[in-house]
């Protein structure tokens, strides 16, 4: 009888301690940031086929700085951590992406990004590309000049 009481007391103590411990543990909170099958311009996502490579880069763009005209041959995820990232597409469409925004950039579409604000803009870029290749290709800015047009008139 005495052993049963000791065993019962131990069991109550063990259960009480376990319950108290589990109540003290914080819970993990998962917040989905992005779930998409298309870019910001509606293009269907396609991954590099042969030798895929993923590159994550943290970039800080000072106030007033433009990164220049470029395009991406493959998928680029963008997460704006601080500030606001402005992107202008070759068709003149301009969009503002404040801190906390995550999106997939246009593929094969000439555009440029800039920090039009007064504080630095911090951005995480995650690029998919073929192994050894860059996913950022510098381009000329769009303009009225057309191939074959005479520049001397």
Per-residue pLDDT of 14-47, as tens digits, reads 555 555 555 688 888 888 888 899 999 999 988 8
Q: Residue ranges per domain, the chain?
A: 52-138
pTM higher than the cut 0.85: no
Superfamily of chain region 52-138 = Jelly Rolls (2.60.120.10)
For 40-108, give the DSSP string: TT-PBP---SSSEEEEEEEEEE-TT-EEEEEE-SS-EEEEEEESEEEEEETTS-EEEEETT-EEEPPSS
Which range among 3-7, 41-45, 68-72, 114-118 shows the weakest confidence by mean pLDDT?
3-7
Question: Which one has a higher pLDDT value, 147 or 19?
Answer: 19
| Arithmetic mean of pLDDT, 100-123 | 96
Residue 114 confidence (pLDDT) above 50: yes
């Amino acid at each position: 009888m005495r052993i049963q009481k000791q065993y019962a007391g131990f069991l109550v103590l063990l259960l009480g301690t376990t319950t108290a411990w589990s109540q003290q543990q914080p819970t993990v909170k998962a917040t989905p940031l992005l779930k998409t099958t298309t870019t910001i311009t509606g293009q269907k996502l396609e991954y590099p086929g042969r030798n895929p490579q993923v590159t994550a880069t943290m970039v800080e763009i000072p106030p007033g700085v433009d990164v220049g005209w470029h395009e991406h041959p493959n998928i680029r995820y963008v997460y704006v951590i601080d500030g606001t990232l402005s992107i202008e597409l070759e068709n003149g469409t301009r969009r503002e992406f404040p801190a906390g925004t995550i999106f997939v950039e246009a593929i094969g579409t000439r555009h440029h990004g800039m920090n039009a604000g007064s504080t630095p803009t911090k951005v995480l870029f995650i690029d998919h590309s073929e192994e050894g290749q860059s996913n950022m290709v510098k381009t000329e800015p769009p303009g009225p000049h057309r191939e074959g047009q005479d520049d001397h008139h």
